Amino acid sequence: MFKAPQRNTTPSLAGRGLARLSTLRGRAAPFALGAGLLVMGCAPVPAQQADATLAGPVVATDAAHASYQRVLTAAQDLMETLSPAQRDALALDYSFANATRWHTYPDATLGSRRNRLGLQLEGLSEDQWGAVYALLDAALGSAPDEGADEVRQHLSIDDYLRRGGARSDYGRGEFKLAFLGEPSPTGLWELQFGGHHLAVANTYRDGLLIGATPSFRGMEPLTPVEYDGGNFAPQLQEHQAFVALLASLDDTQREQARLSRRGNLMMAGRNWDFPERSQGLAVAGLDREQRALLFAAMETFVGDADDVSAAAFMEKYRREIERTYIGFSGSPSLSATGDYVRIDGPSVWIEFYMDPPFSTEQPHPHALWRDKQADYGGTRP
């Protein structure tokens, strides 16, 4: 059986933010886990769909170009391991319709009109799996429990649920990978990777990341799972960061942050219909320590992007912090079905929701990071 690669232990964006949270709050850290490419079957991008702007904050620095070159090289290396039929399944047209073919459900439950596009990973050889992981390493963040490491853990827990008999349509073999458009030094394309409870959507243009969202993560159970020699809890740090943030609010702030609606408010759709008016507690009224907790919570999501891009997105969100709001419904402990919290800024939109038990006896998190300008790299229908 293919073994999950060893986890990365290099501190990065989110890890540093949570360490800072620990210092400020005087408590333990809130988590313990630590060259040209011929794309077969890829048609030109339709003109009406190719109007993505440089919506993201990543600027054309040497570091940003080097980061993209790693992605491009890994994409090329992966293609070289595939058969012609596998390449045909992987390489698809770039369009908004194709970019929005992501979901929170297992692929087998979606049907032919809603299911994910791309190459199904069942039956890949060990070398091909290694190339997939190398691509994720290049495209996603390097911190423990974030980015590529979080995805590895996610796949291992999906395997755990499948092997335990919870669901026959779970497991890493059910996930899909797609290149929408041609990975190249210039032009527009998206790296799409997803399956049950997971959506990675990195959009690139002319050698830069212009969108890392929608980025969806869910996990059941929330608590650690021991499986195949590892101990996995990839969403625990998000949960604990939000719990710490809400616990820092005084009674007046908590009432200001409380949302009128209770239930699943998650913007897990594919549209751009964000609320016209922000609700909840204005971050402008938070003190220094509370803002540090807020940034630590944000970094557990933004840190899923590659390190260079994550730093750029966080810089943008920090500039907009005075116009950002926190809202929640249900319990601030985020322990019961229906508990919900969100961060709503001029650009950033992050949600964390406790979904009902499904494969286990515990409520489990659904979490979503979107960007109101940079979703799908700015491409709209």
| Integer Cα distance of 350 and 258 in angstroms | 16
pLDDT band at residue 66 using 50, 70 and 90 as cut-offs: very high
Question: Can you spell out the DSSP letters for 225-269?
Answer: EEETTEEE-TTHHHHHHHHHHHHTS-HHHHHHHB-S--S-----S
Question: Can you spell out the DSSP letters for 321-339?
Answer: GGG-EEEEES-TT--STT-
| pTM assigned to the model | 0.85
- Tokens for 129, please give them: 């799996």
Spatial CB neighbours of 185, under 8 Å, sequence gap ≥ 6: 72, 206, 207
Stated as kind and residue range, the H or E segment containing 120 is strand 119-120
pLDDT above 80 for 15? no
| Integer Cα distance of 227 and 8 in angstroms | 18
Mean pLDDT of 342-371: 93
pLDDT value of residue 268: 55
pLDDT above 90 for 266? no
Residue matched to tokens 């993560």: 217
> What are the beta bridge partners of residue 355?
364
Phi and psi torsions of 8, nearest 5°: -70, 135
Q: What percent of the chain has pLDDT over 90?
A: 69
pLDDT above 60 for 368? yes
337 phi-psi bin (left φ>0, alpha ψ -120 to 50, beta other): beta
User: Which of 104, 89, 121, 94 is closest to 181 using CA atoms?
Assistant: 94
Amino acid in position 5: P
What separation in angstroms does the CA of 308 have from each of 73, 100, 237, 249? 17, 25, 21, 32
Spell out a b/e string for 156-185, using b for 16 or more CB atoms within 10 Å of the CB, else e.
bbbbbbbeeeebeebbbbbbbbbbbbbbbe
pLDDT value of residue 45: 36
Q: What percent of the chain has pLDDT over 70?
A: 82
Question: Can you spell out the DSSP letters for 136-192?
Answer: HHHHB--STTSHHHHHHHHHHHHHHHHHTTS-TT-SGGG-EEEEES--SSSSEEEEE
- Tokens for 295, please give them: 């940034």
pLDDT value of residue 9: 41
Spatial CB neighbours of 245, under 8 Å, sequence gap ≥ 6: 290, 293, 294, 296, 297, 326, 341
Higher pLDDT, 249 or 163: 249
What separation in angstroms does the CA of 350 have from each of 34, 90, 94, 324? 22, 29, 26, 11
pLDDT value of residue 261: 67
| Integer Cα distance of 256 and 259 in angstroms | 8
The pLDDT tens digits of the residues spanning 104-123 come to 888 888 988 889 999 999 99
> Where is average pLDDT lowest: 8-22, 53-67, 138-152?
8-22
pLDDT band at residue 269 using 50, 70 and 90 as cut-offs: low
83 burial via Cβ count (<10 Å: 0-12, 13-18, 19+): exposed
Indicate the DSSP class of residue 270. Answer: S
Three-state DSSP class for residue 74: helix
